């Protein structure tokens, strides 16, 4: 029997990773598609008149096992992939795309949904039921249900192509990341690099039975090199390798994929009656339309650009004074920023890292959540995992009720893509009187322990952990009826609020005192360091904001226009960056060919949402600070009106219920030091 096609007989019905034969995924997904098709046929052929229960709810709960299997498969494809899984993904994705279209373009099903929607004002639905009905109806009407047959066929072809292109894009980026290594054997070449990073690089070399040090494009290896290596030529070499991923006109090149994805998305939007892909996407976002996004980004640009230009001049003058650098280049940025930061604040990651042992930071995030939301985490060893690095926890509330299963996967490896993300293996929902609790995971790429040191995090990694943990809390504290409205199933420009607001506790003395303890002595981080962390929080913030805005504008340049006539990825990107550029152009690098957020992940026409959510998170945390950062009352309101509600209501309605008013940008501008005195 295929373990994937039956109910998982495991603790909390968690994914039975050790029992799964990866070769069974294709067959299992085909089997579950067939079973789900039978469920859909039963809805369509139901002789009774369409009702909310026999149509909308029945559709919502269909394909439960199919969803669980696909979540396991695609999470593995991101966190523990191999050539076999990647090959299967190329086979599975078009099947799922085709199946999705089979549902959306099923005329009998759409007629029943349309029938229920026409009665919605007389059905006495709850707010959540009303939202679900609206979402189901729009999932049909926005995705081709009203198209004539010939155009439905075109839509199917477009969606198949897009699913394969997106996978290929991601595979190329991962292959490029794994392919490059900077192997050094001369001590002069690693001058300036801290011992911890050198030890990690030596371990990589030793694993390959080589002398010296190996640096890779994985963040824990790449970032310390760019920040500390004195050898400018080697910094340039590594930065160029990083910036030219999938931009080398070889078999791993993504330029054609980028152009094809952008053009197919536009073609799809046009087919559905939308001006551009961005118009299609933003209809279901808080921002609502591309003009509002562009206006939002440009307003922030107007505030940030003067500050960024001042900071760039300051950094350029500092590099010239220190080392005679005539023209500051992008590969100098992290290096001289770190040097300037040390001069201004006498603070660097190497001073801070001993206070941020990974295990302590994990416990710290748990304690902060416990103080705010009355939940506790218990590490367990009887839940199956897909790799030995993965830690598992049971989560309970203060009445000892089971809340969630939490997985945490912290270190880089060959089969894991770069970056950090939160995902889930099972959503929270209610069905037949039972409450199904969620299985949530965070995946990061933090420095591994070495022979002499535990995993010690940079401060940026600390905020990353809290960020992803905020997403996880959104999933774990969900309390909705329907799975498609649960947890992080919210408007894309609202989803970053819970994650970004959690980062704020990393800057507060009362929170740092909980977990920032020296890994050897147990000494709590000195108050002077905390004051410096806070003082340096806005260091070069103008440049950082400009960089983030440039990514949002690049995203909109691909998706907010007709891309049909774009033939040169680099030329298009150069034009998009024109108003945000500080460093000289580098003809060897391109951002778009490795911009996985928008060409592989779900952020197309949505990268602006990081900044959008910063306005929300700064305003929300201001509310905590006005009371107390561990205020049970404010935390209760946040959990009740934001975290637990998922996508059951419009996010602005939920936010105003929590805060009492719409968010104001002043809190963000003040925090970022961008307000004029």
The pLDDT of residue 673 is: 82
pLDDT of residue 666: 84
Do 188 and 141 lie in a common domain?
A: no
Query: For 481-505, b where at least 16 C-beta lie within 10 A, e where not — what string?
Result: bbbbbbbbbbbbbbbbbbbbbbbbb
- pLDDT given at position 471: 98
Distance CA 14, CA 74 (A): 16
**pLDDT in the model for residue 447:** 87
Angle, in degrees to the nearest 10, between helices 569-577 and 541-559: 130
Distance of CA 461 to the CA centre of its chain: 14
| Domain identity same for 24 and 121 | yes
Q: Are residues 137 and 208 in the same domain?
A: no
How far from 404 is each of 52, 140, 488, CA to CA, in Å?
29, 32, 14
C-alpha 624/C-alpha 505 separation (Å) is 10
Rounded to two decimals, what is the model's pTM?
Answer: 0.89
Give the pairing type, strands 402-409 and 391-397. antiparallel
Residues 83 and 205 in one domain: no
Contact 332, 588 (CB under 8 A): no
Q: 441: closest CA among 398, 492, 389, 400?
A: 389
Task: Judge if 119 and 217 occupy the same domain.
Answer: no
The answer to the question of residue 480 being in a domain is: no
Computed on alpha carbons and rounded to an integer, the radius of gyration of the chain in Å comes to 25
Is the same domain home to 61 and 196? no
Scan for tokens 């070889």, then name that residue.
250
Q: How far apart are CA 384 and CA 76, in angstroms?
A: 14
pLDDT of residue 299: 92
- Inter-CA distances, 191 with 97, 234, 318, 334, 492, Å: 51, 11, 20, 16, 43
Strand bridging mode 434-436 / 429-431: antiparallel
The residues near 560 (Cβ < 8 Å, ≥ 6 apart) are 276, 277, 278, 279, 290, 293, 294, 605
Domain housing 30? 3-146
Residue 2: burial class (beta carbons within 10 Å; 0-12, 13-18, 19+): middle
Identify whether residues 63 and 192 lie together within a single domain. Answer: no
Cα dist. 624→508, 627, 652, 659 in Å? 12, 5, 19, 10
pLDDT number for residue 208: 96
Structural tokens at position 671: 């925090």
Dihedral of alpha carbons 208, 213, 217, 219, sign: positive
Q: Specify if 42 maps to a domain.
A: yes
Count CA within 13 A, CB hemisphere, residue 87.
Answer: 5
Regarding whether 204 and 127 lie in a shared domain, the answer is no
Which one of 243, 262, 290 terminates a domain? 243
Rounded Cα distance between 40 and 108, Å, is 10
Strand partners, 406: 393, 440
List Cβ neighbours of 64 (8 Å cut-off, separation of 6 or more). none
**How far are the Cα atoms of 126, 294, 591, 602 from residue 278, in angstroms, in the given order?**
31, 11, 20, 13
- Cα(115)–Cα(543) distance, integer angstroms: 53
Residue 609 CB contacts under 8 Å (≥ 6 apart), including other chains: 285, 287, 492, 493, 494, 495, 496, 603
Of 243, 264, 280, at which residue does a domain stop? 243
Choose among 620, 594, 641: nearest CA to 176: 594
Helices (H) and strands (E) in the chain, counts: 27, 9
Residues 6+ positions from 336 with CB-CB distance below 8 Å: 315, 318, 319, 322, 325, 328
| 42 dihedral zone (left: phi>0; alpha: psi -120 to 50; beta) | alpha
- Shared domain check, 77 and 23: yes
Q: Tell me, yes or no, whether 142 and 188 share the same domain.
A: no
> Using an 8 Å Cβ cutoff, are 436 and 404 in contact?
no
Provide the pLDDT for residue 640: 98
Cα within 13 Å of Cα(26), Cβ side: 11
Blockwise average pLDDT, block size 10, the chain, 677 residues: 88 96 96 97 97 98 97 97 95 94 94 96 96 96 93 95 96 95 97 94 96 96 97 98 98 98 98 97 94 95 94 98 97 97 90 96 98 98 97 97 98 92 97 95 93 93 97 98 97 93 96 96 95 92 96 98 97 97 97 96 92 93 96 98 97 96 86 72
d(Cα 483, Cα 424) in Å, to the nearest integer?
A: 12
**Residue 212 domain-assigned?**
yes
DSSP 8-state symbol, 397: E
Question: Does any domain span residue 94?
Answer: yes
Distance CA 469, CA 535 (A): 25
Asked if residue 402 lies in contact with residue 376, where contact means CB atoms within 8 angstroms, the answer is: no
Q: Which residue is it, tokens 């905590």?
A: 624
Same domain, 120 and 8: yes
Burial 312-322 (b: 16+ CB within 10 A, else e): beebbebbeee
Helix axes 255-271, 149-179, angle to 10 degrees: 160
Which 3 state secondary structure label does DSSP give 392?
strand
- CB-based contact 369:469 (threshold 8 Å): yes
CATH number of the domain where residue 94 is located: 1.20.1050.40
317: which 2 tokens?
């003058």
Kindly list the catalytic residues: 468
Is residue 134 domain-shared with residue 218, that is, in the same domain?
A: no
- Whether 277 contacts 268, CB under 8 Å: yes
Question: Shortest CA distance to 84 belongs to which of 171, 198, 193, 197?
Answer: 171
Closest CA to 412 of 210, 166, 626, 223: 223
Q: How far apart are CA 165 and CA 257, in angstroms?
A: 6
Residue 87 lies inside a defined structural domain of this protein? yes
The strand pair at 439-443 and 421-426 is best described as antiparallel
Only one residue has tokens 């498609």, namely 484
Residue 556 lies in a domain: no
The pLDDT value given to residue 669: 82
Q: What is the largest CA-CA distance in the chain?
A: 82
Q: Is 308 helix (H, G, I), strand (E, B) or coil?
A: helix
Counting the structural domains of the chain, the total is 2
**Does residue 475 lie within any of the structural domains?**
no
Sheet holding 421-426, edge to edge: 375-380, 391-397, 402-409, 439-443, 421-426
Q: What is the pLDDT of residue 1?
A: 61
Q: 383 in helix, strand or coil? A: coil
Count how many Cα atoms sit within 13 Å of the Cα of residue 309 in the half-sphere of its side chain: 8
The answer to whether position 29 is within a domain reads yes
Residue that terminates a domain, selected from 194, 219, 243: 243
State the CB neighbour count (10 A cutoff) for residue 45.
Answer: 8
Phi, psi of 604 (to 5 degrees): -60, 130
């Amino acid at each position: 029997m295929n373990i994937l096609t039956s109910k998982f007989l495991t603790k909390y019905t968690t994914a039975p990773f050790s029992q799964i034969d990866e070769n069974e995924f294709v067959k299992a997904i085909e089997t579950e598609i067939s079973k789900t098709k039978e469920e859909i046929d039963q809805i369509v052929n139901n002789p009774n008149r369409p009702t909310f229960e026999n149509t909308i709810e029945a559709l919502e709960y269909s394909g439960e096992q199919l969803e669980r299997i696909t979540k396991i498969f695609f999470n593995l494809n991101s966190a523990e992939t191999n050539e076999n899984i990647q090959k299967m993904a190329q086979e599975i994705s078009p099947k799922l795309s085709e199946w999705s279209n089979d549902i959306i373009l099923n005329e009998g099903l759409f007629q029943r949904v349309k029938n229920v929607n026409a009665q919605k004002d007389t059905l006495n639905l709850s707010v959540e039921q009303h939202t679900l009905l609206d979402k189901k109806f729009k999932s049909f009407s926005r995705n081709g249900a009203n198209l004539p047959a010939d155009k439905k066929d075109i839509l199917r072809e477009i969606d198949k192509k897009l699913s394969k292109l997106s996978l290929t894009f991601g595979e190329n980026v991962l292959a490029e990341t794994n392919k490059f290594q900077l192997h050094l054997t001369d001590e002069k070449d690693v001058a300036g690099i801290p011992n911890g990073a050198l030890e990690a690089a030596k371990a990589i070399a030793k694993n390959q039975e080589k002398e010296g040090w190996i640096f890779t494009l994985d963040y824990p290896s790449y970032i310390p090199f760019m920040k500390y290596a004195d050898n400018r030529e080697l910094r340039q070499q590594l930065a160029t390798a990083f910036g030219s991923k999938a931009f080398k006109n070889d078999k791993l090149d993504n330029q054609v994929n980028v152009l094809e994805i952008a053009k197919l998305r536009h073609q799809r939007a046009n087919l559905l009656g939308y001006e551009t892909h961005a118009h299609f996407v933003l209809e279901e976002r808080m921002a609502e339309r591309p003009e509002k996004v562009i206006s939002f980004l440009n307003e922030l640009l107007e505030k940030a650009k003067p500050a960024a230009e001042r900071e760039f001049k300051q950094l350029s003058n500092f590099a010239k004074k220190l080392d005679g650098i005539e023209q500051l280049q992008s590969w100098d940025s992290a290096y001289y920023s770190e040097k300037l930061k040390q001069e201004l604040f006498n603070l660097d990651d190497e001073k801070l890292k001993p206070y941020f042992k990974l295990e302590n930071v994990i416990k710290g995030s748990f304690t902060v959540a416990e103080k705010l939301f009355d939940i506790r985490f218990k590490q367990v060893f009887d839940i199956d995992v897909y790799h030995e690095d993965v830690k598992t926890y049971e989560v309970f509330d203060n009445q000892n009720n089971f809340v969630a299963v939490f997985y945490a996967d912290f270190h880089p490896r060959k089969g894991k893509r770069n970056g950090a993300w939160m995902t889930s293996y099972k959503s929270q929902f209610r069905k037949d009187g039972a409450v199904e609790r969620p299985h949530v995971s965070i995946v990061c790429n933090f420095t591994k322990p070495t022979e002499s040191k535990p995993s010690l995090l940079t401060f940026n990694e600390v905020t990353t952990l809290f960020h992803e943990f905020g997403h996880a809390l959104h999933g774990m504290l969900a309390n909705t009826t329907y799975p498609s409205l649960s947890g992080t199933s919210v408007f894309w420009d609202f989803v970053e609020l819970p994650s970004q607001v959690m980062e704020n506790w990393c800057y507060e003395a009362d929170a740092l005192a909980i977990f920032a303890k020296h890994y050897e002595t147990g000494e709590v981080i000195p108050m002077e360091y905390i004051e410096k962390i806070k003082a340096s929080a806005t260091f070069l913030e103008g440049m950082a904001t400009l960089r983030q805005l440039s990514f949002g504008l690049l995203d909109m340049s691909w998706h907010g226009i007709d891309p049909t006539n774009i033939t040169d990825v680099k030329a298009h990107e150069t034009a998009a960056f024109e108003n945000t550029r500080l460093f000289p152009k580098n003809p060897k690098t391109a951002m778009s060919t490795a911009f996985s957020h928008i060409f592989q992940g779900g952020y197309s026409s949505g990268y602006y949402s990081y900044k959008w959510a910063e306005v929300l998170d700064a305003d929300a945390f201001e509310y905590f600070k006005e009371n107390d950062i561990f205020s049970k009352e404010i935390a209760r309101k946040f959990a009740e009106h934001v975290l637990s509600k998922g996508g059951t209501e419009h996010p602005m309605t939920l936010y105003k219920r929590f805060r009492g008013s719409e968010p104001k940008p002043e809190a963000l501008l003040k925090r970022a030091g961008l307000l004029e005195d």
